[in-house]
Structure 1
Amino acid sequence: MRFGTFLPQGWRFDLVGIDPADQWATMRGLAQRADAGPWESLWVYDHFHTTPVPSEEATHEAWTLMSAFGASTSRIRLGQMCTCMGYRNPAYLAKVAATVDHVSGGRVEMGIGGGWYEHEWRAYGYGFPEVPDRLRMLGEGVDIMRQAWTTGTATLHGRHYDVDGAIVRPLPVQPGGIPLWIAGGGEKVTLRIAAQAADYTNFTGTIDEFDHKLSVLREHCARLGRDPQEITQSSNFNTIVGSTQAEARERLDAVIARLRPHVGDARAEHIEQEYLASDGYGTPEQVTERLQTRAAHGMGYSIHYFPELAYDTSGVELFEREVIPALA
């Protein structure tokens, strides 16, 4: 199994209490720590407002961080899970990503999806198109990016984007362009786009739900004449590990206590239940066993979000010592 880790950027209230003037130093230090460790990739979210409620707390922008991490690390790959297609013109996004690929020496991954955070869309003046339109935007945008990264130009006269000979030079460092992660499990459109264009998918759910999504992806691949083995399946996990169940519980309690003043009691309780149900919660032995089961069902890449990372690295250190070596 291959492993990625999310870095705190504020979106999930994971930099609260740290002076904004010190937050970049915190993120950079954690990126460099991951760069020196066993992780294949680091990830951020592409959002502008905190979740599950918008607030005045800082949320740092994903593609700015991509460039900054590219310049301040040397090995680790750099991704977003996932870039919202509707937030940037796709020709412009292709240009940005190609530039970051050069800054990083060819280490960029493009996580891309249709987007969902309505408050954020409307606040930034993007409106909030219906789901079919957001997915058409995704399909057109992926087409534009693939053209740009393989030919250096892009032309598409679509329903949502009208690009006519957009020049994207230099090409990305990576031969054939930047790897595409199509995020989401929409069965009619998202997984069809993934079957057409993805190097990686990203969806989660129960084992039964994962199996079903994977079968739908394979059906799309069969119709399109693509080998599904060319696509790596990934999932994201909210991860809290402790050497004992009691220690894991103590870590979770500390996370919820930090979130509660910002999200309220009802949302804090919901988040707590999400962690308790996560395959990434528990002792190293429990987490390893669950991830082994996921691997047996076709998941080849797991990406882990550690909510305490900006404050305490002992949990991620435990994961690095005991979980990754058992599965890598």
Structure 2
Amino acid sequence: MKFGIFIPQGWRFDLVGIDPARQWGVMHDLAQAAEAGPWESLWVYDHFHTTPVPSEEATHEAWTLMAAFAASTSRIRLGQMCTCVHYRNPAYLAKVAATVDLISGGRVEMGIGAGWYEHEWRAYGYGFPDAPARLRALREGVEIMHQAWTTGKATLDGEFWQVDGAIVEPRPLQEGGIPFWVAGGGEQVTLKIAAKYASYTNFNGGAETFARKSEILRGHCEKLGRDFADITRSSNFSTIIAETTAEVHRKVDSYEARLSESIGDRKAAEVVAPYRLGSNEALAGTPDEIVDALREREALGLGYSIHYFPDSAYDRSSVALFEEKVIPVLS
């Protein structure tokens, strides 16, 4: 199994209390530590407003961070989970990503999806098309990027995007273009797009859901004549880890108390509840418990797990313990 780590960028109220002038330094230092550690990749989110509620707290822009990390690291791969295809014209996005790939020496991953955060969509003037329309636009956008990176030009007269000989030179350093991570588990559209274009998929859910979506992806691959084994399946996990159960509880309590200062007690309790109850995407436990949870998913074909540590801007002990006692067991 390969491992990726999210760098806090404010979107989840994870830089609160840190002076904005210092926030890049915090992100940079965490990226440097990840590069020096056992992580395959680092990741940011492509969002403009905080969640679970919009606020005036910092949320740093994903592709600006991609360029900054490209220039300030040398080994670790760089991804976004996931770029919303509607927030940037896909030909422009292809150009931006190709430039970042060159800066990085060929280390960019393209996480791409249809988007979901209605408040920021409308606030930025993008409207908010229904889900089928967003997915059709995703299909067109991926086609434009694929053309751009494999031929140096893109032309499409689509329902949502119209480009006519858009030149994307120089192309990415990576042969065949930047790898696509098609994010989302939509069974009839998203997974079909993934079967055609993706090197990786990214979908969450419990073991039963993961297994079902994997088989649907396999079916789409068979219809297209593509080898299912060519696609690495990944999932994201919000992770709190400590040596003892009592220390896990203390960290969860501390996280909830910090969130409460920004979003109130009720919302904070809702955010933290998955850690307390045990959910498919929130892992809270000792190293052995985290290893067992990931092994269950690995047995179903999970090849890449990406972890968000909600306290990493303030306390790196969860990250350090994960590096020491989880990654060596599973990698």
Q: What TM-score, normalized by structure 1, do the two folds share?
A: 0.99
2:134 corresponds in structure 1 to 134
Distance (whole Å) between structure 1 residues aligned to residue 94 and residue 243 of structure 2: 43
2:109 corresponds in structure 1 to 109
2:327 corresponds in structure 1 to 324
Amino acid at match of 2:112: I
1:296 corresponds in structure 2 to 299
Distance (whole Å) between structure 2 residues aligned to residue 267 and residue 231 of structure 1: 37
- Find the residue that maps to 2:176 and give its secondary structure: coil
Matched ranges for 1:114-193 at <5 A = 114-193=114-193
Distance (whole Å) between structure 1 residues aligned to residue 275 and residue 71 of structure 2: 33
2:100 corresponds in structure 1 to 100
Q: Give yes or no for the alignment of 1:80 onto 2:80.
A: yes
Amino acid at match of 2:316: T
Matched ranges for 1:248-267 at <5 A = 248-267=248-267
Distance (whole Å) between structure 1 residues aligned to residue 275 and residue 190 of structure 2: 26
Instruction: Compute the displacement of 1:223 (Å).
Output: 1.3
Moved more, 132-141 or 263-272: 263-272
The one-character-per-residue Cα deviations of 1:223-267 (angstroms, maximum 9, x if unpaired) are: 111111010000000100000011111111111111112222222
Distance (whole Å) between structure 2 residues aligned to residue 150 and residue 304 of structure 1: 31
Amino acid at match of 1:217: L
Distance (whole Å) between structure 2 residues aligned to residue 280 and residue 169 of structure 1: 43
Moved more, 66-75 or 279-288: 279-288
2:62 corresponds in structure 1 to 62
Distance (whole Å) between structure 2 residues aligned to residue 302 and residue 249 of structure 1: 23
2:33 corresponds in structure 1 to 33
5+ long unaligned stretches in structure 2: none
Moved more, 222-231 or 179-188: 222-231
Amino acid at match of 2:48: F
The one-character-per-residue Cα deviations of 1:45-79 (angstroms, maximum 9, x if unpaired) are: 00000000000100000000000000011100000
Distance (whole Å) between structure 1 residues aligned to residue 217 and residue 270 of structure 2: 30
2:4 corresponds in structure 1 to 4
5+ long unaligned stretches in structure 1: none
- Find the residue that maps to 2:322 and give its secondary structure: helix
Count how many residue pairs are aligned between Structure 1 and Structure 2.
Answer: 328
- Find the residue that maps to 1:292 and give its secondary structure: helix
Q: Give yes or no for the alignment of 1:284 onto 2:287.
A: yes
Instruction: Compute the displacement of 1:268 (Å).
Output: 1.3
Instruction: Compute the displacement of 1:193 (Å).
Output: 0.4
Distance (whole Å) between structure 2 residues aligned to residue 309 and residue 253 of structure 1: 15
Q: Which 4+ stretches in 1 moved above 3 angstroms?
A: none
- Find the residue that maps to 1:233 and give its secondary structure: strand
Distance (whole Å) between structure 2 residues aligned to residue 266 and residue 217 of structure 1: 38
- Find the residue that maps to 2:155 and give its secondary structure: strand
Instruction: Compute the displacement of 1:183 (Å).
Output: 0.2
Q: What TM-score, normalized by structure 2, do the two folds share?
A: 0.98
